Structure 1
Amino acid sequence: MFIVYSPEGRNVIGRQESKIESPKRINAVSESEFEQTMMELDKDQSGHLASSQASDLPHSRLNYGLSQYQKQLDTLKERHVVVQVSEIMTRDILSLPPRASLGEAWSLMQTHDIHHIPILDNENLVGMCSVQALLRHVMVADDNSLSMQDALSVGDIANTEVITTLPNVDVRRVAYIMTECNIGSLPVMSNAGKLLGIVTRSDLIKRLAQVPPLEIYA
Structure 2
Amino acid sequence: MNFIVLQFNELKKLIWFFIGLVALSAGFICVVQYVLSTTDWIKTSLSVWQVLSFSITSSLLIIGVLLNKFRIKHLWLGNLLSKPSINGLWKGRLISSYKKDVDDDPLPPIEIYFYIKQTYFAISIQSFTKSQRSESILATIYTNNFSSSTKFMYIYQLTRTKNSENKITLGSGELLITDNCSKMEGVYWTNSTTHGEIEMNLVDRKALSIDSFISAETHVDSLNIS
The alignment's TM-score, normalised by the length of structure 1, stands at: 0.28
Which structure ranks higher in relative contact order (CA pairs < 8 Å, sequence separation ≥ 6)? 1
Larger Rg: 2
Identify, as 1 or 2, the structure richer in helix. 1
Identify, as 1 or 2, the structure richer in strand. 2
The alignment's TM-score, normalised by the length of structure 2, stands at: 0.27
